[in-house]
Amino acid sequence: MKTDLEIQHDVMAELQWEPGLKNSQIGVSVNHGVVMLSGVVDTYYKKVLAEKATKKVSGVKAVAEEIVVKVPGGKTYTDVDIATAVLSALKWNSTIDESRIDVQVEDGEVTLTGVAEWNFQKVSAQKAVENLVGISNIVNNIRVQNKIIAQDVKQRISEAFERNAAIDSNKLSVQVAGDKVILIGTVRSFAEKMDAEKTAWASPGVMDVDNQLVVDSGVKVY
């Protein structure tokens, strides 16, 4: 079992281990397994990297972050510059139909709206623009609208869990209400919780995933 101090040490080590976060100044605090990240980075991509790296660490139950994106050297990018770059990135991504996605930029915050047939396309749209300079935040409001309604969604997802070596399928249960999937049970880490949600989203016909999985890593509470 890991204490909050041990989790803090491991998170800081993981952040230092991540090559993409070189020279970044990120503060880490932990309270009952919940990690708070703070500090300043020069791109939104680094902010995402910090959160992903933290979720890999065992004992982490949740991640909250107050990392600020600040472009170095006094460089300024107008909202028009950013919007142009975002549209270009979406256009050159082969998994996305950019004609179905609208882009709005205000004070460096990018909002994506529109429709995608699959959740992976929604995720891909965000990933396509995460590493662009000048972006302070991304709000992904793209709606997943898949006409396929799978009658055996529960079985498909359960079988996918059993195939996944990173997921302990014996501790998970799947409930389906229409096109919504509900995940219930316990997992060993936050990363496993996200893996389970990602697996559920991959099933045809799924429009929403309610991830109620609880991280139970045996962390001591002081």
Q: Where among 119, 144, 169 does a domain terminate?
A: 144
Same domain membership, residue 81 and residue 97: yes
The answer to the question of residue 116 being in a domain is yes
- Give the integer Cα–Cα distance in Å for 138 and 8: 27
The answer to the question of residue 172 being in a domain is yes
Element of type H or E holding 176: strand 172-177
Structural domain boundaries enclosing 65: 4-70
Same domain membership, residue 8 and residue 45: yes
The answer to the question of residue 222 being in a domain is no
Taking the chain (222 residues) in runs of 10, the rounded mean pLDDT of each run is 91 92 89 93 92 91 90 80 95 91 94 90 93 93 73 80 85 84 90 89 82 76 46
The answer to the question of residue 220 being in a domain is no
Question: What is the predicted pLDDT for the residue at 153?
Answer: 77
Q: Where among 28, 45, 70 does a domain terminate?
A: 70
Q: What b-and-e string marks burial along 31-64, b requiring 16 or more CB atoms within 10 Å of the CB?
A: eebebbbebebbbbbbbbbbeebbbbbbbbbebe
Question: What is the predicted pLDDT for the residue at 218?
Answer: 56
The answer to the question of residue 221 being in a domain is no
- Give the integer Cα–Cα distance in Å for 26 and 37: 7
Question: Which runs of consecutive H residues, i.e. helices, occur in 56-189?
Answer: 79-91, 119-130, 153-163
CATH number, domain at 186?
Answer: 3.30.1340.30
Question: What is the predicted pLDDT for the residue at 222?
Answer: 47
Our CA dihedral for 124, 186, 29, 210, rounded to 10 degrees, sits at: 40
State pTM to two decimals. Answer: 0.72
